[in-house]
């Protein structure tokens, strides 16, 4: 039972905010990703289509996180953890698993589409199902390695002041230091580097499409270009809303928590910003279906760059459908 103490009260906005946000993500994210995964697997298959392989793995990552949300909802609704240490570690770990696996799978999708548009012939040996499955397996192995220290740093702990058991909060100083080292590492390799790759892919595709003269009708050409660009913009949108703000806020909050940045007067500000951006990061599982939508639109229009474009005399075929690559 919570004591009559302001530090123990669940009236702080983060408790109802997390409860309502996670409930909405569960409500919308679960059916969206289940339907997306069903469409990807049943209608498109996983044997030949490279984009489908990447997107199916992305949907699986989102589903794993969404299925862990009931544990978070129960905790933030009650303010006391009663489900044991193992079940405390799983949701915290799956949040990190989803965040960084999503980042890497979105990067693979962007690179694959860029290669298909900018280097359609030279990239064929790289854009095969075995290569795609190998890259996906590599991502899961890397994420599995990350999950071990993450899980060990997300154990339940006893809040003696409030006489309750905590999960997802109230970590010790040592746990904060360990978490900070992990955070800095994954922010660079799991967020900043992929974001730079996606941005580079987007610029390369836009430049290619601007120099491409389509042989099909003007309206079909413009529609094809718009759909391709929307796919890349949806990737950048997810990063802009979900990944970047959360990591900036988390690093600032951690520096303040470790007394390396500003003083106690700023603690509440960083804490509240971290709370809001964490919910924004969690929403990526609802935004990822945007990628499935723009990628699986059955656009059959194809175009070809003529010999006057910057690519020389090579005919470049642009296709945004999910035909086997």
Q: Which domains does the chain have, with CATH numbers?
A: 14-153+179-295 (1.20.1070.10)
pLDDT at 244 over 90: yes
Average pLDDT score over residue span 161-176: 84
Look up the pTM and report it. Answer: 0.86
Compute CA distances 211 → 95, 206, 223, whole Å: 41, 9, 16
The pLDDT mean for the chain works out to 83
Q: Contact, 290 vs 234, CB < 8 A?
A: yes
How does residue 220 score in pLDDT terms, banded at 50, 70 and 90? low
Would you say the C-alpha torsion 77, 151, 65, 320 has a positive or negative sign? Answer: positive
Smallest CA-to-CA distance from 325 within 52, 47, 49 is with 49
Share above pLDDT 70 across residues of the chain, in percent, rounded to a whole number:
83
How does residue 228 score in pLDDT terms, banded at 50, 70 and 90? confident
Half-sphere exposure of residue 16: CA atoms within 13 angstroms, side-chain side: 4
- Reading the block at residue 306, the tokens are 């003529």
Distance CA 127, CA 106 (A): 15
> Which region among 39-48, 115-124, 157-166, 212-221 has the lowest average model confidence (pLDDT)?
212-221
> DSSP characters for 252-279?
HHHHHHTTSSS-GGGHHHHHHHHHHHHH
Smallest CA-to-CA distance from 238 within 271, 207, 274, 202 is with 202
pLDDT of residue 225: 75
Distance CA 72, CA 66 (A): 10
Q: Contact, 322 vs 295, CB < 8 A?
A: yes
Q: At 318, give phi and psi (nearest 5°).
A: -105, 125
DSSP 189: I
| SS3 label, residue 304 | strand
């Amino acid at each position: 039972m919570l004591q009559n103490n302001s530090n123990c009260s669940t009236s702080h906005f983060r408790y109802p905010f997390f409860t309502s946000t996670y409930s909405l993500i569960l409500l919308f994210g679960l059916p969206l990703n289940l339907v997306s995964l069903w469409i990807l697997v049943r209608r498109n298959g996983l044997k030949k289509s490279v984009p489908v392989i990447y997107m199916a793995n992305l949907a699986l990552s989102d589903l794993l996180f969404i299925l862990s949300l009931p544990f978070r909802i129960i905790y933030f609704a009650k303010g006391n953890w009663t489900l044991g240490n193992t079940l405390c570690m799983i949701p915290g770990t799956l949040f990190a698993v989803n965040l960084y696996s999503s980042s890497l799978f979105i990067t693979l999708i962007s690179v694959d589409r860029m290669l298909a548009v900018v280097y359609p012939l030279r990239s064929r040996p790289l854009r095969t199902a075995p290569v795609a499955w190998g890259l996906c397996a590599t991502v899961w192995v890397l994420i599995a390695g990350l999950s071990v220290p993450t899980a060990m740093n997300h154990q339940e702990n006893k809040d003696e002041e409030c006489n309750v058991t905590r999960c997802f909060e109230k970590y010790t100083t040592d746990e904060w230091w360990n978490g900070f080292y992990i955070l800095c590492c994954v922010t660079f390799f799991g967020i900043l580097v992929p974001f730079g790759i996606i941005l580079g892919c987007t610029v390369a595709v836009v430049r290619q499409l601007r120099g491409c003269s389509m042989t099909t009708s003007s309206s079909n050409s413009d529609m094809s270009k718009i759909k391709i660009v929307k796919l890349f913009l949806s990737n950048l949108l997810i990063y802009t809303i979900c990944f970047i703000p959360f990591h900036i806020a988390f690093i600032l909050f951690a520096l303040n928590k470790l007394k390396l940045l500003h003083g106690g007067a700023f603690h509440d500000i960083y804490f509240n910003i971290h709370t809001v951006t964490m919910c924004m990061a969690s929403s990526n599982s609802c935004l990822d279906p945007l990628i499935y939508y723009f990628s699986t639109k059955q656009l059959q229009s194809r175009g070809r760059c003529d010999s006057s474009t910057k690519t020389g005399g090579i005919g470049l075929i642009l296709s945004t459908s999910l035909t086997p690559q």
